Amino acid sequence: MSRFLTFILLSMIILPVSAARLAIVIDDFGYRQEIEKKVVRLSPKITVAVLPNSPYAKQIATYAHLYGNQVMIHLPMAPIRLTGLEKDTLFPDMSEAEIARIIDEAIVKVPYAVGINNHMGSRMTSSLSGMKKVMARVSNYALFFLDSRTIAATRVKEAAEIYHVDTLSRDIFLDDSINEDDIAAQFDIAIQLARKKGYAIAIGHPHQQTFNVLYQKLRYLPADIQLVTPRELLPSTQPNHTVGQVWKLLVDDANVLINQWNLQLDSRRISSHFYY
């Protein structure tokens, strides 16, 4: 038997048992198209989280979807220090109706989303009453909630359980420091954690330095590490959008899709698309 065949057979036997799963989410998408497209093209297993009121929200979500990447809504939530807030940032004392409107609009602005994670949000996610209003609305959709964990005293899981919304929780921030050595070290910690507990969720941002590190690290990803989407880490597989939602999105976005398809063909000519 050739070495190659032996390797394939051994991989089939060994990998499913020993693979540790790593999910990477890059958020704050919607402002810097060029670097964001490069991040998307790194791997379809990189999940991107799009700010609903950013200038290129719909375009970059559609682009990512066409490349096979999963899309999330990066929902702005009130931090402790109220600076640099996005439009429609959620506050704990907002009415249920106001929070519902903001979530409904975010779903329209970020097509193809399969989940939500919070942008900032220490003030909001540490408020049980605030998060209950969020989860009450999110539970109307087939969306999971990834807690970015910007604060230790988060009440996300507690609120989500009341409304049966599936949750996940961020383990590592890749680029609190945007020094490439620091990002690489954070990536390695994520891998160690994935080996230890079976999986890890890392969140990063569309910085050139983060892209550079991911480009290298994903090329030489250890054989026992399997890159997955956060959704694959959920115990139950949820449906994506309902048929009605998909149809509406298709009609609304027909022109965007055609434009993006042309763009995609262009970029396929000039760049390689790595699969891991």
Which positions touch Zn ion (CB under 5 A)?
Answer: 27-28, 119
Residue 28 or 253 with smaller CB distance to Zn ion:
28
Residue 119 or 231: the one with the smaller Cβ distance to Zn ion is: 119
Shortest Cβ 154–Zn ion spacing (Å): 15
Residues pairing with 20 in the sheet = 225
Residue 276 C-beta-side C-alpha neighbours within 13 Å: 28
Query: Which residue in 77, 80, 54 sits closest to 206, CA to CA?
Result: 54
Q: Least distance (Å) from Zn ion to the CB of residue 137? A: 20
First CA to last CA across the chain, in angstroms?
26
Sign of CA dihedral 53, 101, 145, 94: positive
**How far apart (Å, rounded) are the C-alpha atoms in residues 170 and 78?**
18
Min separation Cβ 150 and Zn ion, Å: 9
Distance in Å, CB of 109 to Zn ion, minimum: 16
Name the minimum Å distance from CB 27 to Zn ion. Answer: 5
Question: How far is it, in rounded angstroms, from Cα 16 to Cα 12?
Answer: 7
CB of 119 to Zn ion, least distance (A): 4
Q: Determine the residue with CB nearest Zn ion.
A: 119
Q: Which is nearer to Zn ion, 207 or 241 (CB)?
A: 207
| Alpha carbon distance 128, 123 (integer Å) | 10
Q: Which is nearer to Zn ion, 77 or 159 (CB)?
A: 77
Instruction: Tell me which H or E stretch contains 74.
Output: strand 71-77
CB of residue 147 to Zn ion, shortest distance in Å: 13
Count of helices and strands (H, E) across the chain:
11, 9
Cβ nearer to Zn ion, comparing 83 with 255: 83
The partner residues of 168 in beta bridges, in order of sequence, read 146
Around Cβ 239, how many Cβ atoms within 10 Å? 8
For Zn ion, the closer of residues 150 and 229 by Cβ is 150
CB 22 within 8 A of CB 190: yes
Nearer to Zn ion, 71 or 225 (CB): 71
